[in-house]
Chains A and B, each alone.
Chain A
């Protein structure tokens, strides 16, 4: 995947004291997928890298299969915890139909990383509600900087389906100019004991693709 070379990406890399640019990352998915933990790790990475950071999401329904979205904002000084409409620099979608639901929040020229996974909601047993089977094709027509990651396939190849989220964080790390060592340090600290090595490998795999 191409590195972020747009205005925002460069600014995030070459921050100065007076720089008021804020990097907006929207992480979306389905309750139970691990969106909240992923955005917590990203936020810690940003804090460790010396940035101000705010993260916001709504709890409550997150474990019951509803739509989950987490706003992460990184910069020298971040005021609002919420990303303004249509101003996400990067969207990381844990599920393809959710990518479609949120793609309008992407800035022109922004990056969309989408997990190839498909989760059809129970409501689709009613024929009124149709799952967008062509979600990836639709996304291709809308987003220039689209990266599809088959995290399930990659993590299974790595030997553990639970590594899928770390694969996705690896892919996300590519879109942000934050030192890889900081990512590795935070992931090593945040994942369950005994799984650090496997998770770091998953991170490297996600990052290298």
Chain B
């Protein structure tokens, strides 16, 4: 590995993985966007001589990756932790067949659920699939570990899990870069006994997996990725990932066993380490993965007794843990307590086309089964018009389930974004149609994967690497699947939208309604002529304030009856006209029309 002089860049963990993959000769990468993993592919896609793609979902991304690997290309496939659940089916059996070109699955976990629906610990998947796992602790390790992982993958004929967390993926740190390596693609070769997992061939492959695991158990004892940093022998800390950094900061004098290759664990080396320290403490986020491994190996240690099994760690929490263990003084108590300041929850953007749909659903008193995306924010006040959120695509199935048991006396809707629908809503729609449900599915089509920062998908007409692509026609798709009714509607026309939704409720069978307005942020920021409130005409009813638009606030002035008169912020208003459509006294006018309006004093 040639080190490039003077190329020390500040990179996030995700950027570093992308650079590391390019340097290691990765030719193919696939993913579905998901925080905190998205930027890996966005950055990798910019390199010359690589194929990088968004797939409709993680399972497909993984399978396309398997194909590229069996063709001999080095491959990375990236996803957030819950994405691995979607890809778990091919993962569990790809662990049997093994690879040709090195194959690295990057799982970016989200302890603390900064942007996720759960905080599952995906280290468990390494053990479940019996595949090796590497855990980087900073951006430089993200960069370096990709190549290690690929070499391990090829040497031991196995997919490798590279497990990051939000604070690794989204922290910036300096990285020294190497020259790019060229790894040729060797081509697919038939090997039925290895690649056709029917029982007669899968059985010997399972034995191969177990044999491979024994070899990996030897390798993990030797790899420099697992290292001891000797310090004070009173305390021996076993740790991995970002937890290593927190612990190192809090206990700089202690002895450390830093696991970079954390499954299978180097049990012998750990036993030797434990024998030379008075007390072994395990510092890890979420599950007691390392701790249980040590205990099974008969190594006395403590961990989750002092550190939480939920949320992410930080130096303060780690310090408290060591204090609870009696190994450190209590953190000083002169830390000020937080001042209660009003919350500032994220909101739908000004002009977001989702807003009018949720306003209408709320007014209708509907039961709304939601999904994963920006529109999940509609659960929050003031809209409060979304009632469930489980996982990608669940909205359609859940609304169908309610309909099948006639479990709601209210109108029942599923709402799902365009990208989420393509990810895993299509099969659920097929289920609703096939099983003759009475349900209305609204595809909130804003033409982009918005929540994760504006990624293309199969209905945007463009690929990750900027090439033109066919765009899915949602109406044609719904009809081809056999939907009873499918139509588009313009969410910027509130009255027409209201009628469309009302008539769908009355219509039996499966209705598919598709919105037609683009996202206000992606692919480019949109803004039209703003609206303005004629204060003299305002009756203070407050309807426009209840749509939750960040551009509308109280002006501080009041009507004769003492009711608040709102004001529209020019710089934020995009001219979507929802407030004007809802205003009962028509006092919200397009700013460019104001000259034509006679103000009656």
Binding site for B on A (CB under 8 A): 20, 30-31, 40, 43-44, 47, 52-61, 63-67, 78-86, 97-98, 100-101, 103-104, 106, 108, 120-126, 129-132, 138, 142
Contact = CB atoms under 8 A, between A and B. Distances in A.
B70 interface: no
B5 to A, nearest CB: 16
Given A60-B451, A84-B316, A126-B381, A79 B347 contact: no
Contacts of A97: 341-342, 344
A75 B339 CA distance: 30
Contacts of A82: 167, 246, 314-315
Contacts of B114: 58, 60
5 contacts: A53-B173, A56-B167, A58-B170, A121-B343, A122-B550
A40 B172 CA distance: 8
Contacts of A80: 242, 245-246, 248-249, 314-315
B576 to A, nearest CB: 15
B259 interface: no
B282 to A, nearest CB: 17
Given A55-B171, A59-B170, A60-B115, A121 B451 contact: no
Interface string B371-402: 00010010001100000000000000000000
Nearest to B173: A54
Contacts of A83: 315
B553 interface: yes
B155 interface: no
Interface in B63-109: none
A82 B381 CA distance: 31
Contacts of A98: 341, 344
Contacts of A59: 35-36, 115, 170, 453
Contact of B552 (A47, A52, A64, A122): A122
Contact of B344 (A30, A44, A81): A30
A104 B552 contact: no
B171 A56 contact: yes
Nearest to A60: B115
Interface residues of B, number: 57
Given A82-B315, A100-B341, 10 more contacts: A40-B10, A55-B173, A63-B349, A64-B346, A81-B171, A82-B314, A123-B342, A123-B344, A125-B554, A130-B342
A63 B246 CA distance: 29
B246 A85 contact: no
B346 A65 contact: yes
A128 B133 CA distance: 49
A31 B550 CA distance: 12
Nearest to B454: A63
Please classify the interface of chain B as helix (H, G, I), strand (E, B), loop, or mixed, using the class held by over half of its residues: loop
Given A86-B336, A100-B341, A125 B553 contact: yes
B516 to A, nearest CB: 22
B521 interface: yes
B382 A126 contact: yes
Contacts of A103: 336, 339
Contacts of B548: 122, 125
A81 B341 contact: no
Given A80-B246, A80-B315, A84-B319, A65 B550 contact: yes
Contacts of A31: 346
B316 A85 contact: yes
Q: Which of B35, B314, B331 has the most CB of A within 10 A?
A: B314
Contacts of B546: 125
Interface in B174-193: 174
A55 B172 contact: yes
A47 B166 CA distance: 22
B346 A129 contact: no
Interface string B549-561: 1101110000000
A55 B172 CA distance: 5
A64 B170 contact: no
Nearest to B546: A125
B600 interface: no
Nearest to B352: A64
Contacts of A64: 346-349, 374, 377
B298 interface: no
B339 A104 contact: yes
Contacts of B170: 56-59
B545 interface: yes
A109 B377 CA distance: 39
B118 interface: no
A127 to B, nearest CB: 9
Contacts of B331: 85
Contacts of B553: 120, 122, 124-125
B345 interface: yes
B311 interface: no
B315 A58 contact: no
Contacts of B173: 52-55, 78, 81
Nearest to A63: B521
A52 B338 contact: no
Interface string B31-53: 00001100000000000000000
Contacts of A40: 10, 172
Interface string B533-544: 000000000100
Contacts of A81: 138, 167, 171, 173, 242, 245
Given A81-B242, A122-B549, A104 B346 contact: no
Contacts of A129: 342-343
B252 interface: yes
B200 interface: no
Contacts of A142: 336
Contacts of B335: 85-86, 104
A31 B374 CA distance: 14
Contacts of A131: 342
Contacts of A84: 249, 314-316, 319
A45 to B, nearest CB: 10
Nearest to B246: A80
B395 to A, nearest CB: 20
Contacts of B337: 104
A85 B333 CA distance: 11
B473 interface: no
Nearest to B553: A120
Interface in B428-445: none
A120 B314 CA distance: 30
A132 B252 contact: no
A38 to B, nearest CB: 13
Contact of B347 (A65, A108, A126, A132): A65
B120 interface: no
Nearest to B566: A125
A78 B140 CA distance: 13
Contact of B248 (A61, A79, A125): A79
B336 A104 contact: yes
A66 B341 contact: no
Contact of B342 (A60, A63, A65, A121): A121
